[in-house]
Amino acid sequence: MLARLHVAAWRETYTGLLPDAEIDRASNPTARQVQWARIIANPKVRSFVLDDLGFACIGPQRFADMQVKGFTEELLSIYLLRIGQDRGHGRALLRATLGPAPLPLTARALTANTRACGFYTHLGGQPLGLQDDQIGDVVVTEQVFAWDQPRLLLDLPLR
């Protein structure tokens, strides 16, 4: 179920933002099953799944420069199928994944993904700058967002 949801959300999110070949490469259900087995087995990663609509994962910060700035955690992924968007489900996913005592965290979004960038900005994410990353064979530019007091996200209304 998670692998299929991940593939569907990946396709919806990145069609038009990444080359079709990269979307196809990342849409391998078997590879996504292996990925999810690793995520679920990792006690340092908190995941939450919302029915057949979406999921989010928060774990240890992957980038040393962000750790130095005090951002110890990272929103590793948050995906919501279009059918569930604009209904408060994204906030619900984030709040559930944060847990009761969230630590300062960052999130990244392709600069071309205006929907994701708008979501993070609307939730009070502070832009920290742009960084290049690589998805498969494609170099992309990502906006880094940060929350130094993510517990405030727990008080936001769901809509």
User: Tens place of pLDDT for every residue, the chain, 159 residues?
Assistant: 899 999 999 999 999 999 999 999 999 999 999 999 999 999 999 999 998 999 999 999 999 999 999 999 999 999 999 999 999 999 999 999 998 889 999 999 999 999 999 999 999 999 999 999 999 889 999 999 999 999 888 877 766
Provide the pLDDT for residue 21: 93
Provide the pLDDT for residue 153: 83
Measure the CA angle with vertex 93, ends 36 and 9; round to 5°. Answer: 55
Short-list 87, 153, 116, 131, CA closest to 9: 116
Provide the pLDDT for residue 158: 67
Question: How is the chain split into domains, by residue range?
Answer: 2-155
* CA separation for the pair 27, 13 (Å, rounded): 12
Q: Which tokens sit at 69? A: 């700035």
Task: Identify the three-state secondary structure at position 121.
Answer: helix
* Whether the Cβ atoms of residue 110 and residue 131 lie closer than 8 Å to each other: no
* CA separation for the pair 51, 5 (Å, rounded): 10
CATH fold for the domain made of 2-155 = Aminopeptidase (3.40.630)
* Whether the Cβ atoms of residue 63 and residue 70 lie closer than 8 Å to each other: no
